[in-house]
Amino acid sequence: MKIKKSPKDNVMVLELSGKIMGGPDFDKFKGEITELIQEGYKNIILDMSGVPWINSTGLGILITGYHSIKAAEGSMRICNVKERVLSIFYISQLENIFDVYETQEEALKAASS
């Protein structure tokens, strides 16, 4: 998994790419979220347009990040999720936990309101 940071005012957009499978991805993602919270970013958007696949361990990574952000009184939104990954969200019922948007623009609009 690769992570590219793009700040948009008080919102940090993390553009994720590659498969999210656990292992070193866990430490990388958790470290990134922790760093952003320490820098004062409370609204984070995960743009998953570059993620072709996620497994159950990868879902755990997202959930851990979500809880860290919530504990800091922030919010995490997810956008541009490929159909294959979105179906995994539905099977695991994570679409009930995550705020999922079709586009980054929609997620940014929701984060700014």
The CATH number linked to 25 is 3.30.750.24
Amino acid at 41: Y
Coil, helix or strand for 54? Answer: strand
Note the pLDDT of residue 9.
Answer: 87
- Residue 106 falls within a domain, yes or no? no
Q: Per DSSP, which regions of the chain are E strands? A: 2-8, 11-17, 43-50, 75-79, 99-101
**1-39 per-position pLDDT tens digit:** 999 999 998 899 999 999 999 889 999 999 999 999 999
Q: Within a domain: residue 105?
A: no
Q: Which pLDDT value is given to residue 29? A: 95
Q: Assess if residue 48 is contained within a domain.
A: yes
Contact between 66 and 31 under an 8 Å Cβ cutoff? The reply is no
- Total structural domains in the chain? 1
Say what percent of the chain tops pLDDT 90.
Answer: 88
Domain annotation covers residue 109: no
Q: Length of the chain in residues, anyone?
A: 113
Q: Which two structure tokens, joined as six digits, stand for 89? A: 């969200």
Domain of 82, in residue numbers: 2-96
pTM: 0.94
Tokens 């700040």, residue?
Answer: 7
